[in-house]
Structure 1
């Protein structure tokens, strides 16, 4: 099992001062957050991408993924292409982080890229429900 799935953190969100609902604190993983369930981990993906849009003015997959998976740690362009191919969203198209039909596939694709296997769509959908509450 991948580290992200073991931590119930399908986006491999790194440790930070930010605390998310459903986060296990303290995390037993020194580098990555842990969540109570995969759904809470997916909710954190939605929250973080929405924060990128609202607070940082990032509007496209390219801008968001470049921050999510910076070139210093990742093959960012390949990551962007993979999410764009999975979702059918142009990398430079503005995305609406409050649009379920757009964001559920984005989070599922991020999970696939991060963990190497297809996301459990039920968990992604439950994460959206937790985010939208």
Structure 2
């Protein structure tokens, strides 16, 4: 039986961002319900990571979300996820103390949070460091 990549990896959208026509993400592909009904698709994983980073920055800047718990509570609400387990996984994966305020404008912090979200969203999948670093770099431009 062939092993298929997780949906977020196949769509080059490792944060599993919902498609929204109002979001004109860099590198976003036209929706195609035959391929994917709900989530955005991107031309490269770097652009998918960029979109994830930009969205996380919006959570921090516009909505004032400064802890992993607050950010993941919005990213992955309880109606669809075990949010408490997700928060714990991201805190552990990023080395963030529970309840600690984080600054996503710092590249190392952004990289740690994004890498942990990708790991959680995609069943342990990890991109090569260069792909992750480039996506984060684009998000922080």
**TM norm structure 1:** 0.94
Output one character per residue of 1:100-127: Cα deviation in whole Å (capped at 9) or x when no partner. 0111011011000000123212211010
SS in structure 1 of the partner of residue 53 of structure 2:
helix
The equivalent residue for 1:8 is: 12
The equivalent residue for 2:28 is: 23
Partner of residue 35 from structure 1, selected from 30, 42, 46: 42
SS in structure 2 of the partner of residue 34 of structure 1:
coil
The equivalent residue for 1:129 is: 137
Greater Cα shift, 60-69 or 20-29: 20-29
8 Å CA contact 1:108–1:118 kept in 2: the answer is no
> How far apart are the structure 2 equivalents of 1:122 and 1:22?
18
Output one character per residue of 1:25-64: Cα deviation in whole Å (capped at 9) or x when no partner. 2344120000110010111111000000111111111000
The equivalent residue for 2:122 is: 115
> How far apart are the structure 2 equivalents of 1:91 and 1:66?
14
**TM norm structure 2:** 0.89
Report the CA distance between 1:8 and its aligned residue.
Answer: 0.2
Where structure 1 has 5 or more consecutive residues not aligned to the other structure, the ranges are none
Larger Rg: 2
The equivalent residue for 1:69 is: 76
After superposition, the CA RMSD in angstroms is 1.2
8 Å CA contact 1:21–1:40 kept in 2: the answer is yes
1:93 aligns with 2:100: yes
